Structure 1
Amino acid sequence: MSTDNQHYVSVRGLSKSFDATQVFENLDFDIAKGEFITLLGPSGCGKSTLLRCLAGLEMPDTGTISV
């Protein structure tokens, strides 16, 4: 596989909720080599929860994270 097309982070079907509050549902994205991303949104929309899931500090309810 060419390293130009390699995904360094791949997220598929990621969902997380706290009790009855759905934080995010069925999230899919890839981050490629050399790519920068920004998480934007209002307070309480799940930005920090997503980062905690990516770092392994929080377990998602469903989905996979490949690093």
Structure 2
Amino acid sequence: MPEYDVVLSDVCKTYPGDTRAVIDFNTEIEHGAFVAMLGPSGCGKTTTLRMIGGLEEVTSGRDHSVRR
């Protein structure tokens, strides 16, 4: 069974004014994996990485990221 360092389940991030930056995002990233996030400007890439790193709080959903 793989060991995951990041597991995001139905993660959402909403900013004041009801601005939804990330909607129902799901992923599992295995330990040692190399990952790239691609998408257009404003689609939530940086916000998602900040949530994984613990720099932004998840509005709803579950963040099971291992932070070292």
TM-score, scaled relative to structure 2: 0.81
What does residue 57 of structure 1 align with? 55
Q: Report the Cα distance in structure 2 between the residues aligned to 1:59 and 1:34, rounded to whole angstroms.
A: 24
Q: How big is each residue's C-alpha offset from its partner over 1:9-59, in whole Å with a ceiling of 9 and x where there is no partner? A: 111110011222211111111001232111111111111111111111111
Tell me the number of residue pairs that the alignment of Structure 1 and Structure 2 aligns.
64
Asked if 1 retains the 8 angstrom alpha-carbon contact of 2:22 and 2:47, the reply is no
Q: Report the Cα distance in structure 2 between the residues aligned to 1:33 and 1:50, rounded to whole angstroms.
A: 18
Whether 1:24 and 2:22 are equivalent positions in the alignment is: yes
Large movers: runs of 4+ above 6 Å: none
2:37 aligned to which of 23, 29, 39: 39
What does residue 9 of structure 1 align with? 6
Q: Which has the larger radius of gyration?
A: 1
TM-score, scaled relative to structure 1: 0.82
> What CA RMSD, in Å, does the superposition of the two structures yield over aligned residues?
1.3
Percent identity reads: 34
Which amino acid is 2:25 matched to? L
